[in-house]
Amino acid sequence: MKMKKFIFNVLALLAVCTAGNAQIAGLNIGYCNGEVSTSIHKEFCSQEKDVWVSGAIWLPASDINVNAGNELKSIRAGLAQKIGIDTMSVWVRETLDGANIAEGGIAKASVKKGWNEIELNQAIALDGTNTTGYYIGYSYHQTSVNQGLSVFLTPTPNALFLKHGDGEWTDRSAEGLLCVEGLVYGDNLPKLNLRLISVDAPEYYIIDKGKMTVTGEVRNMGVQTVTGFDVTARVEGIDETYTAHIDSTINFQENKTFSFEVSPSIQQTGTGNLIVTITGLNEGDDLNMEDNVASDQFEIVQHDYSRMVLIEEFTTEECVNCPRVASYIHELLDKEKYKNCVTALCHHAGYYTDWLTVPCASKYLWYFNAGGSTYAPALMTDRWTTSGASTPVFNPSSLSQLESVIDLRLSKPAFVSLTLKAEIDSEANVVKVNVSGNRAKEDITVNPARITVYLVENNINDRAQAGAGPDFVHQHVVRKVNSDWGEVLEWNGNDYSYDCQLDLRADYVLDNLQVIAMIYDYDQNDATLSEVANAAALSYADFTTDDIRSINAEDSEQVVYDLQGRRMSGDKLPKGLYIINGRKQVVK
């Protein structure tokens, strides 16, 4: 067996204290870590009157036996609200429908929102020989519709069993955990007992990069302070073990996060399963090794591509706060760190419209809660929606907040590439664009991947920008788009090549033009399913041209017309596209 060892620093500690035994009279056993939720979650509650509602967790025998030599004396049961509850009981059972080993109850006057600590009618002696585990639960009678169950929306095995009235028990542990726990008292509370709560492998492992960072969370369930522990990791099916030592002071019932790097010898794409185990504590043997193991799955991909993050700004000249956010984008793009990996474009909509508004800008207001209330300034970064949010649109409060979002996006691998080419066709008065590339895996999007190509212009003088000084100019303004919602990308195996044309207008300053392309997901029924897989940008200086000849603005011996057919003076022509001596030419 191969052995690889990595030594690393643990993430910043939140608190530090002298190692030793905490002066604890009792400890709580369960999954909610002593915390109670008062948030309403109707999906777990009964909508009937005059009905009993029950909830429970199951603790395996190992969690019971580690407390040998002590007694389970009471139960803490959480309520999100108490309205309409006239009776509440707690209980301990070996099976959900079995007889109560011990129980206790309170009447309406004693029922409280939050924790309700109820003593059992008889203490349960824990002798270390339990073989079945215990269900710890509570029941309450509601006289009217009540949303009383206290639940955290953290999926946890064996942590949420529910029963309404005469119905059957259902396991809802994949949706959350119930706030109920047993309270154990005695002179032999476990000293060393570290629990591995969770492990988080990255979503993807890139074979060509050859390493990944693993994070985890531990909780000290013993009364003695732990100052460090060993952790091992292995990928299921690979004969390798990766070991790290973590120096971290963890007090009684305190949680800490840790992180370490592994370099597994994976050669085949597919799905991997990472298994992490706490193997030893600085202070001695862990008394319950069965809660020291956790796992997480990840996808294995051969390679990825450099990511370019796309910022989309909703802005108008009517918006007094828009120059503030525009300055954030300008400062960010000016930083060396982001120059080749972030690009931006502006939709002039959200707070009224202005003279720079194009039709697609108003259509994209759909992203504000799929057509809900709109505002400016507002941003989308890769049309990506954070966990739990209902829209990809947000209003950054500071440059640092915007940078943190961009950094998070840049940390995500991109699995499709974009190579941009553009040329001016002077006869057709268009920009011809070709976008080509390939994908590292087939499912780069949930829905069929779409490609959108924008013609963008910079350095446009404002007319009446609210909240701006005299030197304000508009940047990243969308002028043209191939299709408002893009076009479905056609693949040749894992390769693609896409062509389109974007019309030019006489008032565009060619030197200020950019082409920006993105490949993204799109679900017309859900604004949150629009994540950009990758983007690319190309400035006019990198366009190619056909028969357009450049002349100097000072050249005056010419017969000059603009593209609307108006005769122009040859003296000091503004930059742009003109008909000079019968042919189209660029003035630089």
pLDDT tens digits, one per residue of 166-217: 999 999 999 999 999 999 999 999 999 999 999 999 999 999 999 999 999 9
- Distance (Å, whole) CA 274 – CA 246: 18
pLDDT tens digits, one per residue of 59-117: 999 999 999 999 999 999 999 999 999 999 999 999 999 999 999 999 999 999 999 99
Residue stretches of the chain with pLDDT short of 70 = 1-25, 370-371, 545-559, 561-567, 569-572, 578-584, 588
Do the Cβ atoms of 190 and 171 come closer than 8 Å? Answer: no
Interior angle at CA 72, CA 66 and CA 77, nearest 5 = 110
| Tokens encoding 257 | 């996060």
pLDDT tens digits, one per residue of 302-321: 999 999 999 999 999 999 99
pTM of the entire structure?
0.77
DSSP, res 305: B
Look at the block and give the residue holding tokens 């940008």. Answer: 537
DSSP-assigned letters across all residues of 173-218: TTT-EE-EEEEEESS---S--EEEEEEE--SEEETTT--EEEEEEE
What was the pLDDT predicted at 201?
A: 96
Do the Cβ atoms of 379 and 394 come closer than 8 Å? Answer: yes
What was the pLDDT predicted at 575?
A: 75
Q: Hey, CA dihedral for 200, 133, 222, 77, is it positive or negative? A: positive
Q: Hey, CA dihedral for 40, 43, 45, 46, is it positive or negative? A: positive
- Distance (Å, whole) CA 573 – CA 429: 19
- Helix or strand (DSSP H, E) at 334: helix 322-334
Widest pairwise Cα distance in the chain: 107
- Distance (Å, whole) CA 384 – CA 164: 39
Q: Hey, CA dihedral for 278, 279, 285, 290, is it positive or negative? A: positive
- Distance (Å, whole) CA 518 – CA 333: 18
CA nearest neighbour of 122 among 103, 135, 137, 139 = 103
How far, rounded to the nearest angstrom, does the alpha carbon of residue 108 sit from its chain's CA centroid?
A: 42
Work out the number of other CB atoms within 10 angstroms of the CB of residue 268: 9
pLDDT tens digits, one per residue of 326-353: 999 999 999 999 999 999 999 999 999 9
CA nearest neighbour of 453 among 494, 495, 497 = 497
Grouping H, G, I as helix, E, B as strand and the rest as coil, residue 420 is strand
CA nearest neighbour of 55 among 72, 37, 73, 28 = 37
Do the Cβ atoms of 32 and 177 come closer than 8 Å? Answer: yes
| Tokens encoding 422 | 């553009």
- Distance (Å, whole) CA 417 – CA 438: 6
Cα separations in angstroms, 30 against 105, 159, 212, 250: 19, 8, 32, 19
CA nearest neighbour of 273 among 243, 235, 299, 303 = 235
What was the pLDDT predicted at 5?
A: 30
Cross-strand pairs, 328:
none
